[in-house]
Structure 1
Amino acid sequence: MERTAAAASPGTRHASQSPRRTLVLLAWAVAALAVGVCGAWGYARAGGGPGEVARDLLVGWTYAAAGLVAWWRRPANRTGRLMLAEGLTWFIGNLQGFGRPLLVGLGAWGEALNLAVLGHLLLAFPEGRVTARRERLVVGAGYALVLVGGLVRALLYDPAGAGAADSTYLLCDGCRRNALLVVRDLQLFTAVDLFYRWAGVLLTLCVAVLLASRWRLSSPAYRRLLLPSGVPLALLAAFAGWEVLHVVAPGLLQGSELLPVLLSDAAQAAVPVAFLVGLLRTRLRRAVVGNLVIAAGPAPTAHRLQTVLREVLGDPALRLGLPSGRPDTPYVDPDGRPLRVTTRADGVRTDGGTVRADGSPDVAVTAVGPASAPAAVLVHDRALCDDPGLLASVAASVALCLHNTRLVRDAGRSTARTRALQARLLRAADEERHRLERALHDGAQARLVFALMTLSRAAGRPGDEPLLRAAVTEAERTLRTALAELRDLAHGLHPAVLTRGGLGPAVDALAEQASVPVVVMVEPGRYPALTETTAYYVICEALTNAAKHAQARAVTVETRRQGDRLVVRVADDGAGGADPSAGSGLRALADRVAATGGVLRVDSPAGGGTRVHAELPCG
């Protein structure tokens, strides 16, 4: 009970926490505005021009705004929080512009923190988390470099020292004191600063190598998700190359000091812009999913549906799994090849996905329909799991396509069954007509002809009174026999007692004429004429089969009303073994019941008697 309640509560919690999340985001938005204003103020006090201050604000606030939007749209993804952190830490170095000794020291210490956050963001994009061990090591090294290396550098940084100001991106004439300064040694500071810069370049190259390796090993679908990180990566690589040239050949870049700053800002601003473009592309892809049903067609084949899904999701390796009905391979692809969609017992994945032999996640499985009994499964690249809304839309569209295909297939089968039923009914009617012709020809018709011939012979000898009397007697007997046969024939077609008294008296009459004992339990009441006639013939056929074929010793007949249905049950204790598909009588009876909208079931195990169950509409 607790598990069920917990499973049903996320939507409620989401609804109740939405206003709280809105307030949190608004608070962070106000904080980002305040930090940006303070950073712009400090940058202006340090001598930054209006264009430089505006450019600095644009980069920082772009990050913050994009992060807030991403946080709002995808609260479970930490990418938005990282982008917001990048936007806030962007302004830390500007603290030096206020000229306060403590702020100068803190600004010099954390002015490269935004670069560590940027590396974290690039390696965590697009899932919002860093999973690989080597990537976590690089991210940790970046933060450690700022925390430890930046602190050592700040302890040696003297803003009043000659050449020291050139080691920061701010040229602050009023920044003459650093509260964190411990040792005034320009040569030592230069060495530490050089190591600090080269360590940053090395970590930047590590991030680039890790991203390139991830790109090389990724599937086409995942590469599309990684595309936004490629733009800032290229700019960061260019910036790292600029730093190398600045150290190796400083004279070569004389007079171009502003270019690395512009490249750095462009690289930083490209990430939030690219990420928002990625969000927009995802929304457009969801819009394309709306046309999936139209593109697939009204009743698509499994191959056609799989092809459309690959095009919509951009995953050429996607496979559609359909139930196979076999416990060993529950799902097969459109070509009939088995799909392995079982979970791993070692806990590598718990969402129904499969894994590669080396244990790293490879593909994911999305259920179409209820998870307990999916109508199908989608085996796709796990990169698509980053957008659960997209997968939910695709699964719903696939379920609709499969439902349409099933309806069309069932309609075709129903049409075929209806046509077969009509053909059998026509054949049965034709056979019944021939049977009536034979019965009339061999019975009543022959007797009437015989009576006519007898009267004709008597008319040819008018003076022979004994012969005339014998002829009349013979003709009367023949006519009475013919009349009895006609009555029996009419009774077989539609007994008069059924019309006058209903099903109960008609069944009683059948039981009296039966050659085996019959127990009758008929619920009183009248029903529509077609229902009563069909029920009568069901009972009549079952009694005939019990006496003629099953050698039954007793038969039970029961009729009762259940809602808008008349239920007829006939059971005997005979030999059993009746096969509706083998005999024409039961097959014609089943067709007759089906024509009224009812159903007929025959249970006749060998040696276990026969039970005929019919349900007829009587509403």
Structure 2
Amino acid sequence: MALVAGGLGAWAYRRAGGEPADLVRDLAVGWAFAVSGLVAWVRRPANRTGRLLLAEGLTWFLGNLQGFPVPVLFAAGAWGEALNLAVLAHLLLVFPDGRAATAHERRLIVAGYALVAVGGLVRAMLYDPAADASTSYLSCADCGPNALLVLHSPEAFDAVDLAYRWAGVVLTVLVALTLVRRWRTGSPARRRVLLPAWVAVGLTFTFVAWEVLYLLNPEALGAADAVMTALSDASQVAVPVVFLVSLLRMRLRRASVGDLVTSAGRAPTQADMQKMLRRTLGDPSLVLGVRAEDGGYTDPDGRPVRLPAPGAGGEDEGRDVTRVAVGEDEGADAVLEHDRALGEDPDLLDAAGAVVRLWSRDLRPRAGLSPRRILQAAYDERKKLERDLHDGAQTRMLYTLMTLRRLDAGLAQGADPALRRTVAEAEESLRQALEELRDLARGIHPAVLGRAGLGPALTALAEQCPVPVTVDAEPGRWAPLVETTAYFLVCEAMANAVKHAAARRIRVGVRRSGARLVVEVADDGVGGVRMPSDDQPSHGTGLSGLADRVAAVGGTLAVDSPRGEGTRIRAELPCA
């Protein structure tokens, strides 16, 4: 539909005097909105943002219908010429929830459409280029006639057109002021989500300033008029791209949940877990509550967590609750009381909930819950998060990257350089984000480990190390939990050798010895590493966590690290 609307609009625009460069800019803006809207609609069908972006792309070409010699089509174009601006105001006021939050915002949306419906109609009833070409701003001798013509009066048209434009300026300022109020009263999480709207507001104010200058003194811009028009159209291409990139960034935040998985395995305190959740989700007001004996929930300071009721107003407005249950019994073991803006990415909350669920397992006294079962649960959660990232965010980002490439290929060679740079920058940013997401997914659970086994996974890990690493791994497959434990043991040991021991070479060995899998990591660093004890805890080496992980699967860990002679870490893990 967008392709057809753009093609017809371009043909009509050409008849109305549009130059080739104008046609390219016009098509780029309209199609950018349409493509972004389709992607957003597919990814979030329940949110109206995608449909509004698509509607903006379609209505962008509506005014071009004035280039048709068909009276009805000319009249439709003249009447709805500014409809896309009303749709854009609607989009800004409902982003990111897809619906207006207050009666004031709903009134502004209605006023925008009413101005086009009434003011645009009156304006269209007062001129006809077929009767007098001087009445119209169109460079089209055979455009029209106007099927809506009631009174052909150039003077009346000029007066109504001026009032129509000023009314649009006033509405634009009111929309901007409303967004300013939302920004000032919003939480940090809400402000982060509203950033695309602010980019659009900045562009809108640029257009308004240019429009006001044009109204006050049409001759003031002179030759710069064409330049300002080109920059105006090129800048508007950035609006849907920014909305789409923001949508992708909200999805991309799920990748940072992978860091929480590792932290949750170290059994942090409730206060530490709350800090990590706030940082990862971008909501400094988030509260992590755990179930108390009375059935309620308490925060890290032991104070009761007051949960907002559904649809609550007042100080609870804009707040929401995510409940996390570990067992099958009724009730939740933990709750996240957070900004409602996080609900715009339910997958992000689901991923964070999975991490909290993993962390909450240690809070529930369970008969027969062994350390191995806890580690197995952690392994299962890691696999699930890695699979969700691979099948969800990476696939969608690849689709969007292909969409941007098609958009770039569809632009003519004569397209505005600023427009093509904008598309290229968006494509490059998305490609870098995709690479970062792949790296994070490998950090959560490397795909090669499950596919090819421990030996190939350690070889791939060695290739990424900044110092030479020799890997001597006996071929074979072992239980997934044992392979995962061995892999992350080697990861931690190699990181220690590089960061703390100033090692120049590292050697990794994996072999089977009877019913045990022996894993050794040796380096030629400064040595002097000791296993932590109650009176001498480790200082950033992570050996305590390694010992706990190895012990959880029934293994043993030994460290030999004479000062000045390097370090050798040896773990023996049960093969079954």
Q: Which category describes the TM-score, using the shorter chain as reference length?
A: 0.5 to 0.7
Map of 1:55 onto structure 2: 25
How far 1:290 sits from its partner (Å)? 2.4
What SS does the aligned partner of 1:290 have? helix
How far 1:137 sits from its partner (Å)? 0.6
Over 3 Å counting, the alpha-carbon distance change for 1:306 and 1:59 in structure 2 is: same
What SS does the aligned partner of 1:367 have? strand
Instruction: Trace 1:557-576 onto structure 2 (pairs within 5 A).
Output: none
Map of 2:303 onto structure 1: 337
C-alpha contact (below 8 Å) 1:96/1:172 kept by paired residues: no
Map of 1:253 onto structure 2: 221
Q: For each residue in 1:251-307, what CA deviation from the matched residue of structure 2 results, as whole angstroms up to 9, or x when unmatched?
A: 321223224433442453222101111122122201111221113442111011001
How far 1:249 sits from its partner (Å)? 2.5
How far 1:164 sits from its partner (Å)? 2.6
How far 1:49 sits from its partner (Å)? 2.0
C-alpha contact (below 8 Å) 2:278/2:284 kept by paired residues: yes
What SS does the aligned partner of 2:125 have? helix
Q: For each residue in 1:95-116, what CA deviation from the matched residue of structure 2 results, as whole angstroms up to 9, or x when unmatched?
A: 1112222222111111100000
Map of 2:354 onto structure 1: 396
Map of 1:204 onto structure 2: 172
Between 1:61-70 and 1:402-411, the stretch displaced more is 402-411
CA distance in 2, matches of 1:343, 1:178: 56
Instruction: Trace 1:107-506 onto structure 2 (pairs within 5 A).
Output: 107-159=77-129, 160-161=131-132, 163-166=134-137, 170-175=138-143, 177-327=145-295, 330-341=296-307, 343=309, 348-349=311-312, 355-357=313-315, 361-369=317-325, 372-404=330-362, 406=364
CA distance in 2, matches of 1:95, 1:240: 24
C-alpha contact (below 8 Å) 2:133/2:141 kept by paired residues: no
CA distance in 2, matches of 1:342, 1:102: 54
C-alpha contact (below 8 Å) 1:368/1:398 kept by paired residues: yes
CA distance in 1, matches of 2:102, 2:273: 35
From 71, 74, 77, the equivalent of 2:41 is 71
Question: Please, what TM-score do these two structures have when normalized by structure 2?
Answer: 0.61
CA distance in 2, matches of 1:106, 1:369: 56
Q: Which amino acid aligns with 1:287?
A: A
C-alpha contact (below 8 Å) 2:17/2:139 kept by paired residues: yes
What SS does the aligned partner of 2:337 have? strand
RCO higher in structure (CA 8 A, sep ≥6): 2
How far 1:404 sits from its partner (Å)? 4.5
What SS does the aligned partner of 1:250 have? coil
C-alpha contact (below 8 Å) 1:113/1:146 kept by paired residues: yes
After TM superposition, where is structure 1 displaced by more than 4 Å over at least 4 residues in a row? 404-414
Q: Which amino acid aligns with 1:368?
A: V
C-alpha contact (below 8 Å) 1:158/1:176 kept by paired residues: yes
Map of 1:33 onto structure 2: 3
What SS does the aligned partner of 1:338 have? coil
Over 3 Å counting, the alpha-carbon distance change for 1:283 and 1:192 in structure 2 is: same
Over 3 Å counting, the alpha-carbon distance change for 1:102 and 1:186 in structure 2 is: same
How far 1:178 sits from its partner (Å)? 1.4
Q: Which amino acid aligns with 2:217?
A: A
Over 3 Å counting, the alpha-carbon distance change for 1:45 and 1:269 in structure 2 is: same
Over 3 Å counting, the alpha-carbon distance change for 1:162 and 1:407 in structure 2 is: same
Structure number with bigger Rg: 1
How far 1:32 sits from its partner (Å)? 1.4
How far 1:250 sits from its partner (Å)? 2.5
How far 1:407 sits from its partner (Å)? 7.8
Map of 2:67 onto structure 1: 97
CA distance in 1, matches of 2:339, 2:25: 39
CA distance in 2, matches of 1:130, 1:177: 39
C-alpha contact (below 8 Å) 1:123/1:130 kept by paired residues: yes
Q: For each residue in 1:447-497, what CA deviation from the matched residue of structure 2 results, as whole angstroms up to 9, or x when unmatched?
A: xxxxxxxxxxxxxxxxxxxxxxxxxxxxxxxxxxxxxxxxxxxxxxxxxxx
CA distance in 2, matches of 1:393, 1:147: 46
CA distance in 2, matches of 1:174, 1:204: 34
How far 1:158 sits from its partner (Å)? 2.3
C-alpha contact (below 8 Å) 1:231/1:267 kept by paired residues: no
Over 3 Å counting, the alpha-carbon distance change for 1:283 and 1:318 in structure 2 is: same
Over 3 Å counting, the alpha-carbon distance change for 1:73 and 1:198 in structure 2 is: same
CA distance in 2, matches of 1:300, 1:411: 19
CA distance in 1, matches of 2:143, 2:53: 30
In the alignment, structure 2 segments of 5+ residues that lack a partner are 373-576
Q: Which amino acid aligns with 1:93?
A: G
CA distance in 1, matches of 2:161, 2:358: 63
CA distance in 2, matches of 1:75, 1:257: 40
CA distance in 2, matches of 1:412, 1:106: 73
Q: Which amino acid aligns with 2:331?
A: A
Over 3 Å counting, the alpha-carbon distance change for 1:175 and 1:302 in structure 2 is: same
Q: Which amino acid aligns with 1:115?
A: L
Aligned-residue CA RMSD (Å): 2.3
How far 1:406 sits from its partner (Å)? 5.0
How far 1:342 sits from its partner (Å)? 5.4
Over 3 Å counting, the alpha-carbon distance change for 1:391 and 1:296 in structure 2 is: same
How far 1:161 sits from its partner (Å)? 3.1
CA distance in 2, matches of 1:112, 1:153: 11
Aligned length: 369
How far 1:397 sits from its partner (Å)? 1.1
How far 1:47 sits from its partner (Å)? 2.3
What SS does the aligned partner of 2:220 have? helix
CA distance in 1, matches of 2:22, 2:308: 57
How far 1:247 sits from its partner (Å)? 1.7
CA distance in 2, matches of 1:202, 1:409: 68
How far 1:392 sits from its partner (Å)? 1.1
Q: For each residue in 1:527-568, what CA deviation from the matched residue of structure 2 results, as whole angstroms up to 9, or x when unmatched?
A: xxxxxxxxxxxxxxxxxxxxxxxxxxxxxxxxxxxxxxxxxx
CA distance in 1, matches of 2:257, 2:226: 46
Q: Which amino acid aligns with 1:402?
A: S
From 18, 37, 57, the equivalent of 1:87 is 57
C-alpha contact (below 8 Å) 2:25/2:230 kept by paired residues: no
CA distance in 2, matches of 1:409, 1:291: 29
CA distance in 1, matches of 2:165, 2:367: 69
How far 1:411 sits from its partner (Å)? 7.6
How far 1:162 sits from its partner (Å)? 5.6
